[in-house]
Amino acid sequence: EAEVAQSPRYKITEKSQAVAFWCDPISGHATLYWYRQILGQGPELLVQFQDESVVDDSQLPKDRFSAERLKGVDSTLKIQPAELGDSAMYLCASSWQELNTEAFFGQGTRLTVV
């Protein structure tokens, strides 16, 4: 069964260090999302790609966060420098380009900044 792959599953990093997360969406899915979920809250969209283009990054803290999807397939989300408040679950999701289809989520990366 096709699934969204994310790595690593868990990451502990010291504040001010750089950290990167990787996502491989379901094959053929043109839309890719990065969400951040803080414990007790719902997922919050950080960035949305359509193929290799960013269609929404309004909630991405651009002074420290960056995301790319160079070939329109897999994607990397980077944080530099990491801050204590960045501790959260980072979720990647993908969907077909057609309208009104569900997004499929990966298992997420649990980030702890110490």
Partner 1 sequence: DQQVKQNSPSLSVQEGRISILNCDYTNSMFDYFLWYKKYPAEGPTFLISISSIKDKNEDGRFTVFLNKSAKHLSLHIVPSQPGDSAVYFCAASALQGAQKLVFGQGTRLTINP
Binding site for partner 1 (CB under 8 A): 4, 6, 31, 33, 35, 40-45, 48, 50, 55-56, 91, 93, 95, 99-100, 102-108, 110
Which residues, in sequence order, are CB contacts of 77 under 8 Å at separation 6+? 20, 21, 23, 34, 46, 47, 65, 66, 67, 90, 92
Q: Which residue number, 79 or 108, has a Cβ lying nearer to partner 1?
A: 108
**48 vs 75 by CB, closer to partner 1:** 48
Considering the complex, what minimum distance in angstroms separates the CB of residue 59 from partner 1?
Answer: 10
User: Which two structure tokens, joined as six digits, stand for 72?
Assistant: 């329109």
How near is the Cβ of 20 to partner 1 at its closest, in Å? 19
How far apart are CB 41 and partner 1 at their closest, in Å? 6
79: nearest Cα among 70, 88, 71: 88
CB of 50 to partner 1, least distance (A): 7
| Nearest residue (CB) to partner 1, 4 versus 19 | 4
Contact 23, 4 (CB under 8 A): yes
Helix (H, G, I), strand (E, B) or coil at 46: strand
